[in-house]
């Protein structure tokens, strides 16, 4: 059965995972869990799930990894960096909103965006 | 299908999975012993890609209802969960099945918790409500874990080899306005917080 603790576990896994694909899948699982727990938010969450799905299929995450995973982040031009960063930040915001739904503010876990800084 | 036939089918698939895992373990041993080249050249890559093909066959057994892309993500997720924390993985496993159910599976989610044919047969006799089709079996977590461990080893090596010898892809964003999408997600997040 769905539970708040399971929702929180999924969000913790989202925070600690390193793979973009896995992160997105965990976020979608957390949304599915929240939809079961909060039927009043179902429509909004369903809309959010669709947007996350779009993010998962529309971005070339292999390109992302080829920068972030191999120390070539600096090679990404500013325009593309801010596109990636904007999208990742938005997904983090959604995770934070789910934490809020789960009854507490985001725990002290690293944001995805914190992992990638173009200095 | 009669219960006994179902049990036989389940048993047969579990046997196939066990064989595949032995294959994986053998290949990993060869890799560790340096008998299979992992240098970024065509020969080493081909060996690994052949092996990955075998693993993908196994994924079809695990996730027949999903597209290949979804299967890949499902396995990646399991791998990541396991890699992080076995306890968390096991705690979340029912959620994974439930999420798959939410995504539109028309069948009752079902996990094979048994490893012997007799136990499977007994379970099916005790739970006639399950419309079990042997082609839609969810694996025992331990089986999936062994599979996931092998997959992550091979997958990581393949990713490293591929990325190391490839130029950075030029097309970073497919047909999407990343700024607009990010804005829409931010707005939805805000609306959810305001509930």
C-alpha separations of A48 from A19, A24, A27, A110, B55 in Å: 20, 12, 10, 22, 33
Closest CA to B193 of A118, A6, A101, A75: A101
C-alpha separations of A4 from A7, B103, B192 in Å: 5, 20, 16
pLDDT in tens, chain B (195 residues): 555 665 555 555 555 555 555 555 555 455 444 444 444 344 444 444 454 455 455 444 444 444 555 544 555 555 444 445 444 444 444 334 333 333 333 332 223 222 344 544 555 566 554 434 333 334 444 444 455 455 545 544 444 444 444 444 455 565 567 888 999 999 999 999 888
Of B88, B103, B176, the CB nearest to A59: B176
- ipTM metric: 0.85
CA-nearest residue of chain A to B76? A22
C-alpha separations of B195 from A45, A49, B98 in Å: 11, 17, 25
CB contact under 8 A, A32 and B99: yes
Neighbours of A13 (CB within 10 A): 25
Q: Integer distance in angstroms from the first to the last C-alpha of chain B?
A: 49
For the residues of B48-90, what is the DSSP string, one character each?
A: HHHHHHHHHHHHHHH-TTS-HHHHHHHHHHHHHHHHH-HHHHH
CB contact under 8 A, B178 and A69: no
Name the 3-class secondary structure at A77: coil
Q: Which of residues 148-177 of B touch A (CB under 8 A)?
A: 159, 163-164, 166, 168-169, 171-176
Least confident of A17-21, A91-95, B90-94, B169-173: B90-94
Q: What is the pLDDT of residue B102?
A: 32
Which residues are CB-contacts of B170 (< 8 A; sequence separation ≥ 6)?
Answer: none
A67-75 — which CB contacts under 8 Å span 24+ positions? Answer: A67/B168, A68/A115, A68/A116, A69/B163, A70/B163, A70/B164, A72/B168, A73/A116, A73/A117, A73/A118, A74/A118, A74/A119, A75/B168
Helix axes B86-102, B141-165, angle to 10 degrees: 90
Dihedral over Cα of B83, B87, B88, B90: its sign: positive
Of A16, A18, A41, the CB nearest to B192: A41
Residues of chain B with C-beta less than 8 angstroms from the C-beta of A100? 192-193
pTM over 0.80: no
């Amino acid at each position: 059965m769905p539970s708040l603790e399971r929702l929180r576990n999924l969000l913790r896994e989202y925070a600690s995972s390193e793979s973009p694909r896995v992160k997105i899948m965990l976020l979608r699982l957390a949304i599915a869990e929240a939809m079961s727990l909060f039927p009043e938010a179902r429509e909004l969450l369903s809309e959010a799930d669709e947007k996350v799905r779009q993010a998962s299929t529309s971005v070339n995450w292999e390109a992302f990894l080829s920068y972030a995973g191999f120390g070539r982040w600096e090679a990404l031009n500013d325009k593309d960096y801010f596109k990636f960063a904007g999208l990742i930040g938005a997904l983090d915001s959604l995770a934070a909103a789910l934490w809020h739904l789960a009854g507490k503010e985001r725990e002290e876990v690293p944001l995805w965006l914190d992992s990638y800084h173009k200095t | 299908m009669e219960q006994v036939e179902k049990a036989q089918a389940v048993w047969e698939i579990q046997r196939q999975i066990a064989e595949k895992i032995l294959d994986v373990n053998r290949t990993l041993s060869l890799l560790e012993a340096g008998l299979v080249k992992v240098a970024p050249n065509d020969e080493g890559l081909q060996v690994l890609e052949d092996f990955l093909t075998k693993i993908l066959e196994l994924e079809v057994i695990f996730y027949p209802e999903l597209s290949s892309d979804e299967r890949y993500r499902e396995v990646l997720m399991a791998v990541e969960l396991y890699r992080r924390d076995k306890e968390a993985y096991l705690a979340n496993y029912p959620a994974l099945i439930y999420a798959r159910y939410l995504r539109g599976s028309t069948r009752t989610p079902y996990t094979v918790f048994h490893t012997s044919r007799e136990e499977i047969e007994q379970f099916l006799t005790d739970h006639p409500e399950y419309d079990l089709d042997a082609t839609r079996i969810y694996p025992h977590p331990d089986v999936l874990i062994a599979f996931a461990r092998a997959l992550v080893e091979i997958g990581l090596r393949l990713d490293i080899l591929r990325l190391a010898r490839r130029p950075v892809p030029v097309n970073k964003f497919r047909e999407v306005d990343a700024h607009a999408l990010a804005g829409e997600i931010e707005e939805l997040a805000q609306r959810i917080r305001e509930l």
